[in-house]
Amino acid sequence: MPHKILVIEDESSISDIVRAYLEKEGFLVKIAEKAQEGLNYLKEGVDLIILDLMLPDMDGEEVCQAVREISDIPIIMLTAKSSEDDRVKGLSLGADDYVVKPFSPRELVARVKALLRRTGAFKKGTMSFNKGKLVINPDTMEVLKDGMPVKLTQTEFKLLHRLAERPGQVFPREQLISLILGYDYEGYDRTIDAHIKNLRHKIEDDPRAPKFIKTVYGVGYKFTGQRDED
Ligand code: CA
């Protein structure tokens, strides 16, 4: 599922590599070259910060403190300093982890994943499919397509959620009708078809060649997305 990672780092040679490795793993990456720019991004909602200790406008330690005043979002500090003192200082300022430059991007990615897991940012209940292409959060009723929020009606969300909970299972139309109407109803096949059509337009790249919701002719529908591992 696409987590948003904010990288606050003024050296583009480093942030470019970090971005490439994180994006390859399906993360959404924002890069800020200055601390203030990075702090502004926080309002947009970020799941984890990779923070360079040496920045042009603010000390990474000050940034860390500024972040901690408003949020407990996980922070990994990047630094050239490697003495025990600096390490302890970074952690006491509220960083959750610490990576010393030069570092292996692969190790950094592993730390990002571990930290997200540890801090519970891998939200329970969230379902991600096809390497983060489609994300469904039943708690907030949010749906993301390619990381972008999709506006669904309540009925569309109900349908999608029910289908996606059991990939591969064929749902007869009548079952879906009773799901959205609350009881058995006859003659509403077209209603379901119309909802599915709208849903496909919102979540599929090509609604005429759907990857997520397939028609089972004469019966109903099934969800065919591949669930990502949590
Ligand atoms: Ca720097």
pLDDT at 184: 45
* CB count in 10 Å sphere of residue 230: 11
pLDDT at 124: 61
Query: Cα(18) to centroid of ligand 1, in Å?
Result: 14
Measured between alpha carbons, how far is 42 from 69 in angstroms, rounded to an integer?
Answer: 12
Only one residue has tokens 């490795």, namely: 21
Contact of 199 with 223, CB cutoff 8 Å: no
pLDDT at 216: 94
Q: pLDDT digit string (tens) for 136-164?
A: 988 778 899 988 889 999 889 989 998 99
pLDDT at 190: 73
Query: Cα(8) to centroid of ligand 1, in Å?
Result: 9
Q: pLDDT digit string (tens) for 175-196?
A: 888 777 765 455 566 788 999 9
Query: Cα(10) to centroid of ligand 1, in Å?
Result: 5
pLDDT at 123: 54
Measured between alpha carbons, how far is 52 from 64 in angstroms, rounded to an integer?
Answer: 10
Full-model pTM = 0.53
- How many angstroms separate the Cα of 68 from the Cα of each of 49, 93, 94, 96, 124? 12, 8, 7, 11, 24
Query: Cα(113) to centroid of ligand 1, in Å?
Result: 23
Query: Cα(56) to centroid of ligand 1, in Å?
Result: 7
DSSP 59: B
Residues in the chain where the model's pLDDT stays below 70: 1, 81-92, 120-124, 182-189, 230
**54: region left, alpha or beta (phi > 0 left; psi from -120 to 50 alpha):** beta
pLDDT at 136: 92
Ion ligand 1 neighbours, Cβ < 5 Å: 10, 52, 54
